[in-house]
């Protein structure tokens, strides 16, 4: 199966292709950066972390936030299973306003082989 790379860039008459792992990463990046309800034709798409005030992220129950993110991933990225999530502290500079990221781990199948997946996504 072929997957399209994001962002969509037309080069030499073709859209760039991506591997399955890259496609999962693009999908998760879009899911984790989308506020629930902002896509009119799929209003349940997105994750609940954007419902929190930034200051609340430090005092909120991390287990609740992790569960919310995991539920969104389970619902919208079915190619990934046995998902694990953890929060990672980052330096606080202009590129990382919150100083937090989420590390997503799990497994996916490609060519009847189980492969490990791991990526880190900035929050904010």
Q: Which stretches in the chain have pLDDT values below 70? A: 52-61, 90-99, 124
- Cα(28)–Cα(99) distance, rounded to whole angstroms? 19
Cβ atoms within 10 Å, residue 102: 20
pLDDT at 67: 85
pLDDT at 28: 96
The Cβ-side half-sphere exposure at 106, using a 13 Å CA radius, reads 21
pLDDT at 109: 97
The CATH number, out of the four listed (3.10.450.40, 3.30.2090.10, 3.40.640.10, 3.60.20.10), of the domain defined by the range 3-123: 3.10.450.40
Determine phi and psi for 96, rounding to 5 degrees. -130, 75
pLDDT at 42: 93
């Amino acid at each position: 199966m072929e997957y399209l790379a994001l962002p969509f860039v037309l080069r030499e008459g073709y859209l760039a292709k991506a591997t399955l792992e890259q496609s999962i990463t693009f999908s998760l990046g879009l899911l984790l950066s989308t506020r629930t309800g902002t896509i009119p034709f799929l209003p349940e798409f997105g994750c609940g972390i954007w419902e929190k005030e930034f200051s609340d992220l430090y005092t909120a129950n991390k287990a609740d936030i992790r569960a919310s993110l995991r539920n969104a991933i389970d619902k919208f990225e079915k190619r990934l299973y046995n998902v694990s999530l953890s929060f990672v502290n980052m330096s606080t500079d202009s590129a990382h306003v919150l100083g937090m990221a989420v590390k997503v781990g799990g497994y996916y199948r490609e060519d009847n082989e189980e492969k490990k997946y791991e990526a880190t996504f900035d929050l904010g």
